Amino acid sequence: MERESLALVLVGHVDHGKSTLIGRLLCDTGSLPEGKMEEIEAAARAEGKEFEFGFILDHLHEERERGITIDTTQTFFTSPTRDYVIIDAPGHKEFIKNMITGASQAEAAVLICSVAEGVQEQTKRHAYLIELLGLEQVVVAYNKMDLVGFDRARFLDVKRDMGAFLDRIGVRPSIEVPISARDGDNVAERSEKMPWYDGPTVVDALDVFEKITPPREKPLRFPVQDVYEDPEEPDRRIVVGRVESGTLREGQRLRFLPDDEVRTVLSVRQYARGNLETAGPGECIGVVCDAGPPERGQVGCPADSQGQGGKANVTDRFRASVFWLSATPLEPGNADWPLTFKCATQARPCRAAAIRERVDSGTLEHLPPDAGRLEETEVGELVLETAGPVVLESFYDVQELGRFVLVRGRDVVAGGIVTHVRD
Ligand code: GDP
């Protein structure tokens, strides 16, 4: 049987120990290929450096850059129960983009906080993001316990500070573990240095989390990614994409929105599996249709959607919570279309029509929205407009069609979630 895998993100202030913890997780669960540790230790010695567990991750990043490992964003470790995919990215901003675009949607998070430094602004911003993205399976790891002599009182102090913030944003951690990532205490092995702690290790805490399987009974949403010529019948086209929600069936009639073209599904194919009768959420498929193919960016929905959980939302004005990432602030205006809205495979020129709310993600301070701009690291409740219709869902209904990025030039300047499909 195929082993289950769970997608995990590690978040927290820079230098609080994310890379070290990832290194430990890989090493202490025996997930590194044979000889890898020795190779990395030797490389560190050759550079005259003392080995650190964070080097493991650096080494894997380097291998990726040189194209030695195939996967570009993900790192794996295994526990007796399942496999874990760690979604990591080199920097703070890349990481936030990664998390929001959900190229790799996380199912659980480890929020890491050094007890030596305590809860910092970035810790809070990352926690805010966990809440924004609706991640409910959260472990808080209080790291660097070795630096405070494994002192219980210090652990409780930082835990209290953290609790006060998490409470305000509505994040409820499942487990809070005092660890030393450097020494491996309470990561995969129980620590003897903290006899006062009788809870699970980080790995044990993660093993209790549940795999999130998207429901098949939601309405079908099938964003078109690409259209190819059928190699067997050159005048036929194969429409390729990923089923984001619901179920797609052979013989079904699809309405491709926003263009509103109806097609019948002649066959459903999947690479390596051949023809399928049905395809469910998360499955990447090719669909052969009876008439000319829809284009990239169209979203296939049931043609008679009324009976199947409601019609798809086609809109050009909606509300969203937006995490602004650029040093150049967002200034709403109605004159032109300075941004590109990207959601699933859709891309449309976009502008902010209004800022309804403005919050500092680090302090949770509500700022006056009428200041007319959204600054870096602020979260705004915005009214967004697109130049032409887009197919959207509220993030709380269908995550993949409810989360998006805003691009200016070639930069991703914001990530967000749709809160109301109409303003
Ligand atoms: P990141 O920026 O969050 O990925 O942090 P790193 O994993 O790179 O760690 C930053 C620094 O803290 C490095 O010098 C680590 O060796 C050190 N560090 C990480 N975990 C621990 C720990 O448990 N104890 C101590 N004493 N140092 C640690």
What is the CATH classification number for the domain harbouring 91?
A: 3.40.50.300
| 383 inside domain | yes
330/280 same-domain check? no
Of 158, 174, 207, the last residue of a domain is: 207
285/350 same-domain check? no
Which ligand 1 atom is at minimum distance from the Cα of 21? 7
Q: Cβ-count burial of 143 within 10 angstroms (0-12 exposed, 13-18 middle, 19+ buried)?
A: buried
29 CA distance to ligand 1 middle (Å): 19
| 212 inside domain | no
Total count of domains within the chain: 3
Pairing of strands 346-360, 284-289: unpaired
Evaluate if residue 243 carries a pLDDT over 50.
yes
Of 180, 207, 234, the last residue of a domain is: 207
| 43 inside domain | yes
| 21 inside domain | yes
pLDDT value, residue 305: 61
156/234 same-domain check? no
pLDDT value, residue 308: 47
269/341 same-domain check? no
pLDDT value, residue 214: 74
More confident residue, 75 or 142: 142
CA dihedral 4, 401, 219, 214 (to 10 degrees): 10
**What is the average per-residue pLDDT within 108-115?**
95
Helix axes 54-65, 36-46, angle to 10 degrees: 90
The model's pTM is 0.84
Which ligand 1 atom is at minimum distance from the Cα of 147? 26
The model's confidence at residue 92, banded by pLDDT at 50, 70 and 90, is low
198/296 same-domain check? no
287 CA distance to ligand 1 middle (Å): 48
The model's confidence at residue 407, banded by pLDDT at 50, 70 and 90, is very high
Residue nearest to atom 9 of ligand 1 (CA): 17
Of 166, 181, 207, the last residue of a domain is: 207
Average per-residue pLDDT for the chain? 89
| pLDDT tens string 8-55 | 888 888 899 999 999 999 999 999 988 999 999 999 999 999 999 999
Residue identified by tokens 């069936």 is 249
Q: What percent of the chain has pLDDT over 70?
A: 92
Strand segments, DSSP code E, in 182-250 are 222-229, 237-242, 248-249
Instruction: Give dist(CA 120, CA 117) in Å, integer.
Output: 8
End-to-end CA distance of the chain: 47
195/241 same-domain check? no
272/317 same-domain check? no
131/181 same-domain check? yes
**What is the average per-residue pLDDT within 142-166?**
98
The model's confidence at residue 192, banded by pLDDT at 50, 70 and 90, is very high
pLDDT value, residue 67: 63
The strand pairing partners of 354, in sequence order, are 383
pLDDT value, residue 337: 93
- Kindly tell me the sign of the dihedral angle through the C-alpha atoms of 152, 156, 159, 161: negative
Residue nearest to atom 18 of ligand 1 (CA): 17
| 216 inside domain | no
Evaluate if residue 262 carries a pLDDT over 50.
yes
Cα Rg, the chain, nearest whole Å: 23
Residue identified by tokens 């967004």 is 384
Lowest mean pLDDT: which of 101-110, 200-209, 280-289, 400-409? 101-110
The domain that holds 351 is classified in CATH as 2.40.30.10
204 CA distance to ligand 1 middle (Å): 22
| 214 inside domain | no
Q: Is 147 in the pocket of ligand 1 (CB under 6 A)?
A: yes
Strand segments, DSSP code E, in 231-377 are 237-242, 248-249, 253-257, 261-270, 274-276, 278-279, 284-289, 299-302, 313-324, 339-343, 346-360, 366-367
pLDDT value, residue 68: 58
DSSP letter (8 states) at residue 202: H
Mutating to test ligand 1, I would choose from 59, 182, 202 the residue with most ligand atoms within 8 A of its C-beta, which is: 182
The model's confidence at residue 70, banded by pLDDT at 50, 70 and 90, is very low
Q: Pick the most confident of 3-12, 79-88, 238-247, 299-308.
A: 238-247
Lowest mean pLDDT: which of 134-138, 180-184, 288-292? 288-292
20 CA distance to ligand 1 middle (Å): 6
pLDDT value, residue 52: 93
| 95 inside domain | yes
Evaluate if residue 368 carries a pLDDT over 90.
no
182 CA distance to ligand 1 middle (Å): 7
Mutating to test ligand 1, I would choose from 11, 14, 16, 20 the residue with most ligand atoms within 8 A of its C-beta, which is: 20
| 254 inside domain | yes
Evaluate if residue 420 carries a pLDDT over 50.
yes
201/229 same-domain check? no
21 CA distance to ligand 1 middle (Å): 8
- Quote the domain boundaries for residue 86: 5-207
174 CA distance to ligand 1 middle (Å): 24
The model's confidence at residue 74, banded by pLDDT at 50, 70 and 90, is low
Q: Is 186 in the pocket of ligand 1 (CB under 6 A)?
A: no
Q: Is 252 in the pocket of ligand 1 (CB under 6 A)?
A: no
Q: Is 18 in the pocket of ligand 1 (CB under 6 A)?
A: yes
pLDDT value, residue 312: 86
Evaluate if residue 306 carries a pLDDT over 60.
no
339/318 same-domain check? yes
**What is the average per-residue pLDDT within 126-138?**
88
15 CA distance to ligand 1 middle (Å): 6
More confident residue, 1 or 346: 346
81/136 same-domain check? yes
42/80 same-domain check? yes
Evaluate if residue 310 carries a pLDDT over 60.
no
159 CA distance to ligand 1 middle (Å): 19
Lowest mean pLDDT: which of 23-27, 250-254, 255-259, 323-327? 323-327
**What is the average per-residue pLDDT within 54-80?**
75
Q: Pick the most confident of 102-106, 187-191, 362-366, 376-380.
A: 187-191
